[in-house]
Amino acid sequence: VAITPSSTQTKCQGDSVILVASGANTYKWSNGATTSTIIVKNSGSYSVTGYNATMDSAMAGPVSVVIVQPHTVGIVRVHDLCPDSIINPGVIQASVNPGGPAYNYLWSNGSTAQTITVSNPGTYTVTVTSNACTVTASQLLTKNPLNCNVTQSGSLFVADFSSANSYQWYLNGSP
């Protein structure tokens, strides 16, 4: 008697693992099922006893199934995209909960970093993969002149706040 697949299976919550027993006439799984195939949606250890025509038995397994919780993903604007996107590009970052180092990122522009710098308005999508789970988030990034008003003149950066109702100057993070 054998179980396919025979190694530990890790899936995201909501997905399932199909375990198939072979090599016998009838089967009895550790979860009580009596079919040759079971669909597993819960973490656990699964084994099967197979019986031939004369009711001799043999056991296979166990196969461990691990169901993991999916992470949540959002996109945070770190810096608005300004009208002069060369001097003031937009910066967006994938925010993953729970945090951790084992995430893989793939943005709609092809980047694989957690944070990207963009020069054009549009919808940016990130797909984050970890622990057998894949989650996608999208963010529309538009040019926002009210938060930008910085231009470059030679080696100087000039701030124009004439369109603002009020403003606050900061030096080293303090007003």
> Using one digit for the tens of pLDDT, what is the confidence trace for 69-91?
888 888 887 766 665 555 566 77
pLDDT in tens, 7-59: 999 999 999 999 999 999 999 999 999 999 999 999 999 999 999 999 999 99
The answer to whether 125 touches 146, Cβ cutoff 8 Å, is: no
pLDDT of residue 57: 93
**What is the structure's pLDDT at 62?**
94
Alpha-carbon 171 to chain mean position:
38
**Beta carbons of 172 and 162 less than 8 angstroms apart:** no
Rounded distance between C-alpha atoms, residue 121 and residue 50, angstroms = 61
What is residue 140's predicted lDDT score, i.e. its pLDDT?
A: 85
d(CA 24, CA 58): 8
When mean pLDDT is compared across 17-26, 58-67, 128-137, 157-166, the lowest value belongs to 157-166
Residue 165 DSSP code: S
Q: Please, which contacts does 159-163 make with residues 24 or more away whose CB atoms are closer than 8 Å?
A: none
